[in-house]
Structure 1
Amino acid sequence: MSEVQFACSTEETHQVGKPQAPSFTGPFTTEGGLTAITLSSPSEMDQWIGEWIELAQQTEFCNAFYEPTFFQAAVKNLASQEDWQVVLIKEDAEDKLIGFFPFVRGRGPARLSELSLWKSKLSFLTSPLIRSGSEQQVFKLLLKHLRTMQPRVDLVELPMTLAEGRVHQELHRLIRDNLLTTYHYDHYSRAILTEGHDYDELLTENIGRHHFREYRRQLRRMNNLGQVEFRTNEDPEYGECWADWFLELELKSWKGEGGSALKQDPQQEEFFRELVTSRTRAGGVEMLGMFLDGEPVAMLCTLVSQKGCFEYKIAFDQEYKKYSPGMLVQLHKMQRFLESKRSPWVDSCAVPNHPMINRLWSERRSIEHMVVSLGRPWANIVLGAMPLLRSLKRTFRKPKR
């Protein structure tokens, strides 16, 4: 199926009183009752907002970083001059959105044309949104659509995707069935906490009784300094206040000393304020704070959904470092999560081998960074040579002194 330009409005096909489907212009490909559409700007997603929200709730594993509140705030405040190619897959019969792939165009190895799933500086997962059960049909149509794009596309980069579940399985089935060449930049695991554990038993098993008792002693020592309490952002009207508390607290932490605090970058600060405010109103973020005499000493920001959570940001006051306030607020969060049973898992969003969270949480989820060739000979040759080139680079790299 060749790619063409068209303008479409489905107004005539809808009865009076039924919500009107979004109209769109741009390249499209159809097959098997599905249509793939390319949008040239994320702002065009505004007309798809209802379908987008519904799709985000229908995936096998949620990805809060591609949900509307996070994605729109990130694009508004953190995106540079991107060459956007947002690919949507819709089901024609029910006029439903079943796939969301926010690509940006760039250059890959050997200056090959490359589409990459967009990842901001403050995002920790780029798994596309695909309606559960539709993964095989969506990937099949996506491959056909990308192969007909103009200007042509040689490579597709998937920079931080979940390497498990049906999306991963169907992607690799597509790669095998079409003999596509791939190259893995990275494959690692990061800590995850799942429901069904007893809090005391889990901590005793993971860190030992001695360390568990020590953290309880640290909390008692904090209580000797004044009144210690844990609070959450239950009132949706105070999202901005919680954002202010967190930003000021992070500025007092090691991130502030190192120049990497959100408040030290105006764009990141504005993004975080918008994110916390909007998701607090929608119930999509939990701000947990440890307060001493009414002043925050440690805070944890978690992105929340029914299918899973993401521990997004943590901050603590360096003045109280010897009392381990960051660990204490983390332990309180663990206890709340395991006792509430409101979500099946929480992703740490941590780097591999994180010294703190890897001790507390023993379970892992796999993350991969992969590039896929769409089948053109030169792209296959370049990707096929990447392991050798990487090995040569490591062999002749001068050791650090």
Structure 2
Amino acid sequence: MTTETALAAAPARSLRPASAAGRLAFGAVPVADWASLVETAIEANAFFDPAYALPVARFTRGGDATKALCAFDDKQLSGLVPVRSAWQVYRLPIPALVSHQPYTVLGSPLLSNEDAATALLDNAARSGAHLLVLHMADLDGPAMIAMRASAKRRSLAITVQDEHERAALRVPEDAEAYLRAGMGAKKLKELRRLRHRLDEEGEVVFTVARDEATILPALERFLTLEAAGWKGERGTGLAQNQGDTRYITEVALGLAPKSGIEIVELSVAGKTIAAGLVLRQQRTAMFFKIAFDEAYARYSPGVQLTVELTRHFTENPAIDFVDSCALPGHPMIDHVWRERRRVGNVLIATRPGPVAALCARLILLRGEARETAKSLLHRTRNALKTREIRK
């Protein structure tokens, strides 16, 4: 598809020369140019690879509401971030765009350089937005450094919401020394003891599926394992929704030919007891999902898999950094991987004036209200449980 064709598919008010293209439907973005940007972006984000983002948009619930906010440099795609309106994300009728797509835990935009950051802000403003929200962006990454520099030059306000840290791995040269220093000799000794007990159940094998021949069978085992656990009980497993199953299958098929996905498994006597999905882009990996057989919980299968994954990355010189994609303070992985990635929702004004400040304030107030409601609900549930126990 040519750039001219892509522009013709854009909303009328965003029609501009190619150097200032605004929001486009995903199908209107030239895929070859998008894939090229992925390889050269100043910060990797596997969730914004077209092989990931396009299946999300096509098959997940509400995914088709996502558009691509683009920047072009002399007709060459130089920046991209998937966005939705503030109404679609927050149910707030305000002129703001939010980097948001299902099953995505990193909102750092794909940028070729700092000029692309400026162009994204310009194009967001041209589309009518007074605020651009980058959801769960890496606050210390090259993309945010570029966005901050661009905003600073124009005296545009930036606010950070829900800042937190999550576990990450700066791949060491010596996995055993790294694990020993982080987990401690006593914990590693206990983990080895559990591994020896697991050996008594049958041969324990760690495997990595990464090519087209092995990726789909491994994915099927992961989906089965996930559905059998707590996510299956809640009805949130990927296998429990036809659209979600189709999305992750298409992602695996699209990323496998370029080594963009790995499925790691720990098996006992040929039975998978723990598995994880790993997305790869440039020299960065995302430990995106994990599932384990709760019947083997006494052997700490999730920890065992993460330790093996640490060794795997140490033996793989193509990856320097791994994001756990975990919640802050995660009880398992925080004790295995010592580095941290600082993320947060970054609210950037696209133009000076009170409207952007009002939009940011409303989003912050909404977030505070949700946290208060969650806290009240949690306390109420605990009070009811205590009352039932006393009866």
TM-score, normalising length: structure 2: 0.86
- Alpha-carbon displacement from aligned partner over 1:101-140 (angstroms, at most 9, x marks no partner): 22222336862122111221x1111111101xx21x1222
Q: 1:54 and 1:148 mapped to 2: Cα distance?
A: 25
Specify which of 89, 99, 118 is matched with residue 117 of structure 1: 99
- Within the alignment, does 1:71 sit opposite 2:48 as a pair? no
State the one-letter code of the partner of 1:146.
A
- Corresponding residue number in structure 2 for 1:301: 277
- Within the alignment, does 1:98 sit opposite 2:75 as a pair? no
- CA gap of 1:316–1:388, structure 2 versus 1, over 3 A, is closer
Shift of 1:394: 8.3
Are the counterparts in 2 of residues 28 and 35 from structure 1 also a CA contact under 8 Å? Answer: no
- CA gap of 1:216–1:55, structure 2 versus 1, over 3 A, is same
- Within the alignment, does 1:144 sit opposite 2:122 as a pair? yes
- Corresponding residue number in structure 2 for 1:129: 110
SS in 1 for 2:156: coil
Shift of 1:389: 8.8
Specify which of 341, 353, 378 is matched with residue 355 of structure 2: 378
Q: 1:382 and 1:82 mapped to 2: Cα distance?
A: 24
- CA gap of 1:359–1:119, structure 2 versus 1, over 3 A, is same
Are the counterparts in 1 of residues 286 and 322 from structure 2 also a CA contact under 8 Å? Answer: yes
- Within the alignment, does 1:57 sit opposite 2:39 as a pair? yes
- Corresponding residue number in structure 2 for 1:250: 226
TM-score, normalising length: structure 1: 0.84
- Within the alignment, does 1:24 sit opposite 2:12 as a pair? no
- CA gap of 1:74–1:234, structure 2 versus 1, over 3 A, is closer
Q: 2:25 and 2:285 mapped to 1: Cα distance?
A: 28
Shift of 1:39: 4.4
Q: 2:25 and 2:369 mapped to 1: Cα distance?
A: 40
Structure 1 range deviating more: 51-60 or 253-262: 253-262
- Alpha-carbon displacement from aligned partner over 1:260-286 (angstroms, at most 9, x marks no partner): 222222222222222223322332111
State the one-letter code of the partner of 1:341.
P
State the one-letter code of the partner of 2:152.
R
Shift of 1:84: 4.7
Structure 2 regions of 5+ residues with no counterpart? 381-391
SS in 1 for 2:19: strand
Q: 1:171 and 1:159 mapped to 2: Cα distance?
A: 14
State the one-letter code of the partner of 1:76.
R
- Alpha-carbon displacement from aligned partner over 1:343-378 (angstroms, at most 9, x marks no partner): 111110111111111111111111110223333423
Shift of 1:209: 0.4
Shift of 1:391: 7.5
Q: 1:235 and 1:145 mapped to 2: Cα distance?
A: 38
Q: How does 1:270-285 map to 2 (within 5 A)?
A: 270-285=246-261
Q: 2:366 and 2:215 mapped to 1: Cα distance?
A: 49
Shift of 1:76: 1.0
- Corresponding residue number in structure 1 for 2:312: 336
Once superposed, which parts of structure 1, at least 4 consecutive aligned residues long, lie more than 6 Å away?
Answer: 385-399
Specify which of 242, 252, 263 is matched with residue 266 of structure 1: 242
- Alpha-carbon displacement from aligned partner over 1:294-313 (angstroms, at most 9, x marks no partner): 12111121112332100011
SS in 2 for 1:24: helix
Give 1 or 2: higher strand fraction.
1
Are the counterparts in 2 of residues 83 and 106 from structure 1 also a CA contact under 8 Å? Answer: no
Q: 2:45 and 2:363 mapped to 1: Cα distance?
A: 30
- CA gap of 1:85–1:223, structure 2 versus 1, over 3 A, is closer
State the one-letter code of the partner of 1:271.
Y
> Is the radius of gyration larger for structure 1 or structure 2?
1
- CA gap of 1:224–1:109, structure 2 versus 1, over 3 A, is closer
Q: How does 1:318-337 map to 2 (within 5 A)?
A: 318-337=294-313
| RMSD across aligned positions (CA) | 2.8
Structure 1 range deviating more: 233-242 or 201-210: 233-242
Are the counterparts in 1 of residues 111 and 117 from structure 2 also a CA contact under 8 Å? Answer: no
